[in-house]
Amino acid sequence: MKARRAYLGLGSNLGDRGKNLRLALTKLAQVPEIKIIRCSSFYETEPVEAMGGWFLNAAVALETALDPIYLWRRLQALEEEIGRPRERGQGAPRIIDLDVLLYEDWIYEDPELTIPHSAMHKRRFVLEPLREIAPGAWHPLLGRTIEELLQELEDAHRVIQLASEKGLGGQR
């Protein structure tokens, strides 16, 4: 399979959140079938439908030869390597959360995975970092760019860009 463009969302609200995101980025960069193209700044974000403290979030653009389900499974394996238990359930605090947001213009749905991510267009903590690296990325179901989705968003949760935090040691 040829390399395809995908966008990921990263988040952490347990422990050293910045260290957790940087570790996830390092581990992603070590996967032979993944090439990180760009990483957003880190954003401090108010929790949405989640327990625990504020999150650090980021977005990553990558190229991958993995199809969507294998990419998602690799992300789950990375989460477990970093220390995220599977049994804690949705909304539980997490050391790391890695989500496939978009995968080219694919629309994909099965019991385990939905692409585009089913709630991304409703969440400022996803759209702000994604706009930084890909404002023109296209949501194939809604027919809008990330920039347009953000302009239409009614989510009032706070999202603060951290100027001192850049993914991959300042490389963007």
Q: How many CB atoms lie within 10 A of CB 1?
A: 9
67 among known catalytic residues: no
Do the Cβ atoms of 43 and 56 come closer than 8 Å? Answer: yes
Q: How far apart are CA 169 and CA 172, in angstroms?
A: 9
110 among known catalytic residues: no
Check 17, 22, 74, 97 and give the catalytic one: 97
Check 17, 22, 99, 123 and give the catalytic one: 99
Check 74, 84, 123, 131 and give the catalytic one: 84
Check 17, 22, 74, 94 and give the catalytic one: 94
Name the maximum alpha-carbon separation found in the chain: 40
Place of tokens 């957790």: 20
105 among known catalytic residues: no
Tokens of 25: 């980025």
17 among known catalytic residues: no
- Which positions are annotated as active-site residues? 84, 94, 97, 99
